[in-house]
Chains A and B, each alone.
Chain A
């Protein structure tokens, strides 16, 4: 931030504070930063998603603060490591509310953490915005309460999108699935299978493999699946699990056996994964990701966002995870601005059916289930000569509204 910007920011803060201060009796409270408690995984295997996602949120906060913050107050993130453990996430969330007096909760990452922290938000009547957790459970009818909002996609959207894509592939009759055996893998695979059967009753599910999460040796699962001779396979193995799986599968000529008719959900198309694997990536498969740096059809705001992100994280091309934290934080801030208050009841009302202009276009949080119409990018993974690794070519953003419940 240069001096001119800083001066403008200061003026904006003073001006807003003066207006707000005259209206309220507590002038001091208005100049204090708005504190947002942020429990997220920063150690252990989940950190490879938690860390970049948090950087996206931080970048948004820095940009917003440079423009004077929101309601004339700066935003301050109070970040705590959950170590990927739901009990720890709950403990950290309580601590943030009781000792740090945070105004809002934001974050968590795994499908265990999000639903565990949600009741804490309800109990303390504090708005909780969830930028990464995908399990349907989080905003299912029986768990929904006025304070929880999800700005990311969910397992139903992801599974159904995959089914929409595969249903259009020619000559597919026998489909297999391979997914990690835990909540996320089961939920997204179920959503995929149910929707595919609806779209294409003629397709038969011939094989389903369920390796445990963190499996080191996928060979037996790969052999067993190949023995069933599927024409196409859906997978939700993510991150390092996908890397291990794909390396072993490629050596066994697994992808060749069904002409690379493979659809990798769970962000198998994330740039981190493609970059780490280089030539070992199974070229020609389809995969998804939260963001695509090479999205030519996107709005100009997206290209600008990618440029700023590359500068902020000093990574070029930048990670696909920061967009989750960025959009989540953008939506929460928009809710606060719309409510004109940091009172959680008012912000909760403001977030219902709010529409925000995000780097990937307009996003709306539906009032009926507190779920954003957030989808992902999907596309064929092709080796890019410029970068030397697989890149989604071209990335396609599939609007989920037509098949959301």
Chain B
């Protein structure tokens, strides 16, 4: 039963799930890291990314490139929507208690969920695998779909891209400064408002990107918004809210615990993840790689 090839297959599937999750959760973590807003509606942006990807592939028809156009278009649309929401609505809540922000983003979940239902109905939708990546490799007796491999490579690239952006560019420096002390940065003459909008758009972009990328392997249904947000919360709590590499680590742990958990505790793999989260919260309340939040 526990042959090396089987363990490798489990590891591979855990890693694929982890990278999907990382791409989405990184957006949640980045937004929290800078804006200090825990965005409940992040899952809704993910859902909209998936629906938009489906919509664009419908418009473009069966062309083999349609998926590759749909993904950036979907992510960009979601980013723009995020920017509009931040600028027009969320902005007014920064000075308020966290409870108001939570209530507001929760209201967004309901509004966007209903909007998706009105626009796309309640039927499950599906996007075919892009022809370029429809096949699979046979490695050491296991089947690795090309698309899984693509996601496993893309995840770390997204992480690296975010890290370079934050640590090697001027904007990145400003973002880190804003996370540290927004009043001081503002007093020094930086346009913190614009920075926040950009950050929220970047986070939304990642959610939309994640949503668009899962469409070839998951069905698009109402309710996918709530499912993903719970998983994202677990990942960022384990890894450390606001920490990019923490989120990366949290996603990998989450994926592997789920993949191997079913072998040890069939039917209780999710339970194992929650136990792990509770354990991390007790031992390191800020998460594995998180820094304690400055009050």
Contacts and interface: CB of A to CB of B under 8 A. Distances in A.
Contacts of B145: 251-252
B10 A240 contact: no
A244 B14 contact: no
B125 interface: yes
A280 B219 CA distance: 11
B228 A45 contact: no
Interface string A27-71: 000000000000000011101101100000000000000000000
A251 B143 CA distance: 8
Given A43-B114, A223-B9, A276 B124 contact: yes
A220 B10 contact: yes
Which interface residue of B126, B136, B227 has the most chain A CB atoms within 10 A?
Answer: B126
Contact of B218 (A44, A228, A247): A247
Contact of A272 (B14, B124, B223): B124
A45 B266 contact: no
A11 interface: no
A227 B128 CA distance: 27
Nearest to B262: A220
Contact of B258 (A217, A247, A248, A280): A217
B123 A210 contact: no
Nearest to B128: A280
Nearest to A207: B266
Contacts of B228: 216
B126 A224 contact: no
Interface string B107-131: 0000001100100001111101100
B223 A44 contact: yes
B222 interface: yes
B126 A217 contact: no
A217 B273 CA distance: 14
B17 interface: yes
Interface in B13-34: 13-14, 16-17, 20
Contacts of B10: 220, 223-224
B265 to A, nearest CB: 11
B87 to A, nearest CB: 29
Interface string B195-210: 0000000000000000
Contacts of A280: 126, 128-129
Contacts of A227: 1, 3, 6, 9
B221 A240 contact: yes
Q: How large is the interface on B (under 10, 10 to 19, 20 to 34, 35 or more residues)?
A: 35 or more
B217 interface: yes
Contacts of B123: 48, 272, 276
B247 interface: no
A223 B6 contact: yes
Contact of A47 (B122, B214, B217): B122
A214 B224 CA distance: 8
B258 A220 contact: yes
Contacts of B224: 216
Contacts of B259: 219-220
A219 B217 CA distance: 10
Contacts of A244: 217-219
A273 interface: yes
Contact of B222 (A45, A181, A220): A45
A219 B13 contact: yes
Contacts of B39: none
B160 interface: no
A248 B136 CA distance: 12
Contacts of B266: 208-210
B129 A277 contact: no
A212 interface: yes
Given A48-B123, A239-B124, A251 B217 contact: yes
B14 A45 contact: no
Contacts of A240: 124, 219-221
B14 A220 contact: yes
A247 B219 contact: yes
B93 interface: no
Contact of A243 (B124, B262, B270): B124
A224 B223 contact: no
Interface string B257-295: 011101100110110000000000000000000000000
Contacts of A50: 122
Contacts of A210: 266-267
B148 interface: yes
Contact of A217 (B17, B117, B136, B219): B17
Interface in B138-154: 142-143, 145, 147-148
A295 interface: no
B13 A276 contact: no
A247 B217 contact: yes
Contacts of A241: 219
A284 B176 CA distance: 55
A305 interface: no
Nearest to A272: B123
Contacts of B172: none
A241 B114 CA distance: 21
Nearest to B145: A251
Q: Which of B16, B255, B260, B267 has its CB near the most chain A CB atoms (within 10 A)?
A: B267
Contacts of B231: 216
B72 interface: no
A253 interface: yes
Contacts of B222: 43-45, 47-48
A258 interface: no
A212 B267 CA distance: 7
A214 B223 contact: yes
Given A223-B142, A251-B143, A276-B126, 4 more contacts: A47-B117, A216-B214, A216-B228, A273-B124
29 contacts: A44-B223, A45-B122, A47-B222, A48-B123, A181-B267, A208-B266, A216-B214, A216-B224, A216-B228, A217-B13, A217-B258, A220-B13, A220-B259, A220-B262, A222-B13, A223-B142, A227-B3, A228-B1, A239-B124, A239-B219, A247-B126, A247-B216, A251-B143, A251-B147, A251-B217, A253-B136, A272-B123, A276-B124, A278-B126
Interface of A: 43-45, 47-48, 50-51, 181, 208-210, 212, 214, 216-217, 219-224, 227-228, 239-241, 243-244, 247-248, 251-253, 272-273, 276-280
List 8 A-B pairs, minimum CB-CB distance, nearest first. Answer: A219-B13, A243-B219, A240-B124, A45-B223, A47-B122, A251-B145, A240-B221, A240-B219
